[in-house]
Amino acid sequence: MELVKPAIGLVFWMVITFGALFFILAKFAWKPILGMLNEREKTIADSLEQANKARAEMAALTSKNQDLLNQAKEERNAILHEAKEAADKLKNEMLAKAQQEVEAKIQTAFREIEIQKKAAITEVKNSVGLLALDIAEKVIRKDLKGNAEQLEYVNKLAKESNLN
């Protein structure tokens, strides 16, 4: 049973050795170890605080970047809308101008056709008048006795006349 029960002298020396070791550690080792642990704890807390600040700044920058992106999209959409409106306006102006030009050309063509029509009618009237004078002159020169002979002579002269 000696193994289970230590001797009193051994217990005495173990207590003195433990006390001396405890005193030396308390005097020289505990303060530096506790100081280093406190410093390490403070460093970890500062690092966590900086990480939280960095995370908050990153979230703010992400939000700001998203706002800038949304603003850029809105500006792009506004510019595209303005460009489309300008293109539509230009297209409508060009169509209106082309339509006015076409209408002006049509009016000019109608006036020209009217002028040529009047000229043609005048020329036909003049030709018919000259033809009638020519026929009348020939009829008067010939001394005819009956209406049938005059009508036959007029038809003969009309056929002989050159109608253009």
Question: pLDDT, tens digit, for every residue of 131-164?
Answer: 888 877 777 766 656 677 777 777 787 777 765 4
Question: pLDDT, tens digit, for every residue of 62-86?
Answer: 999 999 999 999 999 999 999 999 9
For 158-163, the CB contacts below 8 A with 24+ separation are: 158/131, 161/131, 161/134, 161/135, 163/127, 163/131
CA distance 142 to 8: 188
Boundaries of every domain in the chain: 8-160
Q: What percent of the chain has pLDDT over 90?
A: 59
CA distance 81 to 75: 10
C-alpha Rg value of the chain to the nearest Å? 63
Residue 7 token pair:
């001797």
